[in-house]
Amino acid sequence: MPGIPDVHARLSADPPARVADVACGAGWSSIGIARAYPKARVDGFDLDEASVALARANVAEAGLADRVDIAVRDAGDSTLAGRYDLVTIFEALHDMSQPVEVLRRARGLLVEGGSVIVVDERVAETFTAPGDTIERLMYGFSVLCCLPAGLADQPSAATGTVMRPGTLRRYALEAGFRDVEILPISSDLFRFYRLRVGS
Ligand SMILES: C[S@@+](CC[C@H](N)C(=O)[O-])C[C@H]1O[C@@H](n2cnc3c(N)ncnc32)[C@H](O)[C@@H]1O
C-alpha cells in the first residue's frame, strides 16, 4: 500500500478508514492491512465457512478482533452493503463464477474517491506457446483447481487462473469502472490493478 500514495495516506488518516477485503480466505490479507494501518477497520468476507472460521481464529490470535471482522458472505450478494474507502480482492477474482457481478458489487461499496485494488497472477499479457514458467505454473493451477472450482457454480465466466490484464479490464469496464491502472509494484508472481470509478 505504501506504493499507492493516496490509498496509503487515507488508510493512515482519521476518521479511521474502512476496508472490505473480499474473498479474504484465511484472513491473512485482512490481518496484514490492519497490522500495517493501526487506525483502519477491516471487514473480510468469504463464501467458504471453513475459511471464515480459520480467518476468525487467525484474527483473534493476532489480537485484532476489535478492528477486523470476518463474515460468511458471497461477494456477488446483492444485499452486500457498507461504505468503504478501499475494497481489495486478493488472488480470488479469477476463481469467481460471476466476476463482473462481483466487481459491480465492489464498486457499489465505495465511498466517493474510494478504490478497488485487485491482485492477481502476473501471467503474460497475451498467449504464447510455449509459455514461460509462470504461464505453465498458472495453467497447471487453473486446470487442476481454479477453473473447475469456478465452473462448479453455473452460469460461469470460466476465467481460471490465467486471467490476463485484458480480461480484467473487460470485466472492470462491464462492471462500470472508468479505468484500470496496473500499479508499478514489482512482484514475480502478482500483478496489482487499481480500478477507478472517477477521475
Ligand atoms: C485463492 S483463495 C484467496 C484467499 C485470500 N484472498 C488470499 O489471498 O489468501 C480464493 C478465495 O475466494 C473465495 N471465493 C470464491 N468465490 C467467492 C465469492 N463469490 N464470494 C466470496 N468469496 C469467494 C474462496 O472461498 C477462497 O477463499
Averaged pLDDT in 10-residue chunks for the chain of 199 residues: 93 97 98 98 97 98 98 90 94 97 96 95 95 96 97 96 98 96 94 90
Q: How many angstroms is it from 21 CA to the middle of ligand 1? A: 10
Question: What CA–CA distances, in Å, run from 70 to 46, 121, 164, 189?
Answer: 8, 24, 29, 26
User: In the prediction, which pLDDT does 14 show?
Assistant: 97
Cell 472508468 -> residue: 178
Does ligand 1 lie within 6 Å of residue 91's CB atom?
Answer: yes
Residue 140 CA to residue 189 CA, distance in Å, equals 14
Residue 198 CA to residue 5 CA, distance in Å, equals 17
Does ligand 1 lie within 6 Å of residue 101's CB atom?
Answer: no
Residue 118 CA to residue 114 CA, distance in Å, equals 13
In our burial notation (b when 16+ CB lie closer than 10 A, e otherwise), range 111-135 reads eeebbbbbbbbbbeeeeeeeeeeeb
Q: How many angstroms is it from 6 CA to the middle of ligand 1? A: 26
pTM confidence score = 0.96
**Which residue(s) pair with 117 in the sheet?**
88, 194
Residue 11 CA to residue 26 CA, distance in Å, equals 22
Does ligand 1 lie within 6 Å of residue 17's CB atom?
Answer: no
Does ligand 1 lie within 6 Å of residue 23's CB atom?
Answer: yes
Beta strand 190-196 with 110-121 is antiparallel
Does ligand 1 lie within 6 Å of residue 75's CB atom?
Answer: yes
Q: How many angstroms is it from 55 CA to the middle of ligand 1? A: 12
User: In the prediction, which pLDDT does 199 show?
Assistant: 64
Domains of the chain: 5-196 (3.40.50.150)
